[in-house]
């Protein structure tokens, strides 16, 4: 594909996808609303590349979406724009319904109208790739089970429920209208440019500054961790070689308890930048009241993606986490404005 529209391309996973595609010579139309988690600084390395065009806009703006699809002769859409933080969804579920459900519906409407206007090879090659999460499957027992593409949906939070709804709409647009879609569901991502409210970057920066490290409950909840650059490569593969109408799970085969993740980060930082008093950063861990509906365990079976499309993760958790910690140590310019409160998506957006 020569030209791809990426929604949410200034977010964490979205910006990784955009940087990867631009580096491969693909023309990217990067659409992002620039909400609190959308950051143009994450695109600094490609801002002057001729095959990258940033468009500030909302996926719910059907006329704008259609105009860009037609103007750029887009051959594929990678839909990553979403509200994604579980705690925020518990406090304010309305935004999640508007963005993840209504927004996806409107984007599908624009994609369908555009696709129906295509002819010949352009019509047969077009794809709509919807990127989702393993949280739509609910949770697993601590000691057994794994999510496959056939696992029934059982979302636990407003966030996962909104993503489950959007998955269903995408499948319905394929079954009812024939829109050529592919879907993917991923495990927890981590890596550079991760917004500091999430577990790994929050822990890195708090630990670096000698601040308290909050851990829900006893830290026993288990997640499967996927390095974001490995995910970006998988997503491009699904878009370009995945079978229409099929879904692919993307996981790192790196299950860790939340406590183990936090402790590993503490140990890496203690080795690289010891605290002035020489104490272990593990002493900063503070167990806090668990959140409502906290899923016990996620585990992704990526066998279908590996066997059918030939994807393999390049990073294991140890190498990926070491790279991630190193990146945050070396890139204070990116995260310090966010931590200090001086970051503003509105302000950065004026440069779009």
User: Catalytic amino acids?
Assistant: 134-135, 159
Taking Cα atoms as reference points, which of 8, 1, 100 lies closest to residue 55? 8
And the tokens for 77? 């859409």
Report H helices in 92-222. 93-96, 104-116, 120-125, 158-177, 199-208
Taking Cα atoms as reference points, which of 7, 251, 236 lies closest to residue 110? 7
Q: How many helices (H) and strands (E) does the chain have?
A: 14, 12
Q: Three-state DSSP class for 293?
A: coil
Is-contact 65 40, C-beta < 8 A?
A: no
Adjacency order of strands within the sheet including 188-190: 188-190, 222-227, 255-257
* DSSP type of residue 152: P
* DSSP type of residue 352: -
Q: Quote the CA–CA distance of 236 and 249 in Å, as a whole number.
A: 14
And the tokens for 33? 């609303």
Q: Quote the CA–CA distance of 169 and 210 in Å, as a whole number.
A: 45
Is-contact 67 57, C-beta < 8 A?
A: no
Is-contact 242 193, C-beta < 8 A?
A: no
């Amino acid at each position: 594909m020569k030209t791809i529209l990426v929604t949410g391309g200034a977010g964490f996973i979205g910006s990784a996808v955009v940087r990867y595609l631009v580096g491969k010579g693909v023309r990217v139309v990067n659409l992002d609303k620039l909400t609190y988690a959308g950051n143009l600084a994450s695109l600094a390395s490609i801002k002057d590349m001729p095959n990258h065009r940033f468009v500030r806009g909302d996926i719910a703006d059907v006329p704008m979406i259609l105009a860009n699809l037609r103007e750029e002769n887009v051959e594929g859409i990678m839909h990553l724009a979403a509200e994604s933080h579980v705690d925020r969804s518990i406090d304010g579920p309305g935004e999640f319904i508007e963005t993840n459900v209504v927004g996806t519906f409107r984007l599908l409407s624009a994609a369908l109208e555009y696709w129906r206007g295509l002819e010949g090879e352009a019509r047969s090659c077009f794809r709509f790739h919807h990127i989702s999460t393993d949280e739509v499957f609910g949770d697993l027992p601590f000691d057994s089970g794994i999510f496959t593409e056939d696992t029934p949906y059982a979302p636990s939070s407003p966030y996962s429920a909104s993503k489950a709804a959007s998955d269903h709409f995408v499948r319905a647009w394929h079954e009812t209208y024939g829109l050529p879609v592919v879907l993917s569901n991923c495990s927890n991502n981590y890596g550079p440019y991760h917004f500091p409210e999430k577990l790994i970057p929050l822990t890195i920066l708090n630990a670096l500054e000698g601040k308290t490290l909050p851990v829900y409950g006893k830290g026993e909840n288990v997640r499967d961790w996927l390095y974001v650059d490995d995910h970006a490569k998988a997503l491009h593969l699904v878009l370009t070689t995945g079978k229409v109408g099929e879904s692919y799970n993307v996981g790192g085969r790196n299950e860790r308890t939340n406590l183990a993740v936090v402790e590993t980060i503490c140990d890496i930082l203690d080795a690289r930048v010891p605290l002035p008093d020489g104490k272990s950063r593990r002493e900063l861990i503070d167990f806090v009241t668990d959140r409502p509906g906290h899923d016990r365990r996620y585990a992704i079976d990526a066998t279908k993606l590996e066997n059918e499309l030939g994807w393999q993760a390049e990073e294991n958790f140890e190498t990926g986490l070491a790279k991630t910690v190193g990146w945050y140590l070396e890139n204070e310019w990116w995260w310090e404005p966010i931590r200090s409160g001086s970051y503003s998506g509105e302000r950065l957006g004026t440069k779009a």
